[in-house]
Amino acid sequence: MRKLWGKAGLLGSVSVASPYELKLVQVLFRHGARTPLKSIPDVLEAQWVPTLLEPPPHTHINYVVRDLQGGPQPPAPVEDSYRKNILTGGTFPGQLTTLGMQQLYELGKRLRRRYIEDDAFLGSTFSPAEVYVRSTNIVRTIESAKCLIAGLFHQKQTETVHILTTTGESEILYPNYHGCKLLKLLCSHRWAESSTLPDIAADLQSIQSALGIAAHQRVDFILIRDDMVARETHGLPCPPALDSWREKVEQRAVDMMCHVFQPSKRENLQLSVGPLLHILLNNIEEKVQGTSAEPNRKLFLYSVHDTTLIPSLMALGIFDMRWPPYAADLTLELHQHQQTSESFVKVSYIGQDQLLPGCSGIYCPCGVQTRCCRGIR
């Protein structure tokens, strides 16, 4: 809407029609705030008590978890591994907290404003014909998907929400080192190398000394960052020595990820998120060509991880060298120009439109004949 002003003030509002018609939306979103995967050793531990994990009533929906073919939920070995350990306070590592649930509910509300209230692109009640929901087979991402749906549709549903997932071996919603032997071969040594690079190793030695972490303890900047951010987000105490190290911890954690994925070489990125990006592009092509088996589908939701978003952003050429926060979303919209019928893709990250490399504007022409969209290859 554009407001018009006259001498006496506001005269009224007129709708400024966009030449682009929205056709399809795909959202990759990180889960919400959670308990840490591991605690920093040899420092004062935070109390991760069960009351931090209580679900808010407004995030409740009726849902079931199924495999991609609609069968029973597959085994979840990653989740099982978390439950072999208990954090101080009595909770498991990697669990979505009340705050994390609210973060995803708020993301759902933001998507509601964009696609239901402002645009009327989606119906106001959840419909499986319109909305597809997929998650990694981990409790925090499944619960995050549930909370987003609750916020997006204000808990309005006439049918049970099916959250689809798959086995660990065939997962493509994160870099799968177990399912892809070549990726494991290329990346495993780079993970080991990342903490031994001269600048990173020197800073790691310094922070271990500052925090009083014994030399024999196996820590890296990603572990330290994970615990630090989890504590800060939930208002739990951090070791005072971390105060002066916060920016350096953030920087070195990102440096490690850049070393692992080598964005300039592309091969590691192709193996890490190529299969996922292929699915996103295939969804776009099917919508453009009218060949989708679900012609009424308008929204694809993928509940993923920071380790999904980082290489995805790198592959798109829009990684800002900052670790994706909890509940960060990477959104791909397909638009059709109403005069020329040409198709365009618009990408946003955490609500901000992105200019993809090779594109002259935020609406990036999508060439179906080349089977990909410029800037997403």
CA distances from 39 to 114, 250, 273 (A): 38, 17, 28
Bridging pattern class, strands 299-304 and 20-30: parallel
Rounded Cα gap, residues 200 and 219, in angstroms: 12
Rounded Cα gap, residues 273 and 328, in angstroms: 17
Rounded Cα gap, residues 104 and 31, in angstroms: 7
337 belongs to the catalytic site: no
Asked if residues 350 and 328 have their Cβ atoms less than 8 Å apart, the reply is yes
Find the catalytic residue in 203, 226, 227, 306: 306
Q: What HEC string does 286-319 produce?
A: HHHHCCCCCCCCCEEEEEECHHHHHHHHHHHCCC
The residue behind tokens 């991880």 is: 305
Sign of the C-alpha dihedral, residues 61, 64, 69, 74? positive
Rounded Cα gap, residues 245 and 225, in angstroms: 10
The residue behind tokens 């996103």 is: 280
Name 165's bridge partners.
Answer: 67
Tokens coding 327: 């509940």
58 belongs to the catalytic site: no
Find the catalytic residue in 31, 234, 305, 335: 31
Rounded Cα gap, residues 148 and 171, in angstroms: 21
Give SS3 for 20.
Answer: strand
Residues in CB range of 15: below 8 A, 6 or more apart: 1, 2
Residue type, 216: H
What's the chain's Rg over C-alpha atoms?
22
Asked if residues 68 and 164 have their Cβ atoms less than 8 Å apart, the reply is yes
Residues annotated catalytic, as ranges:
31, 306
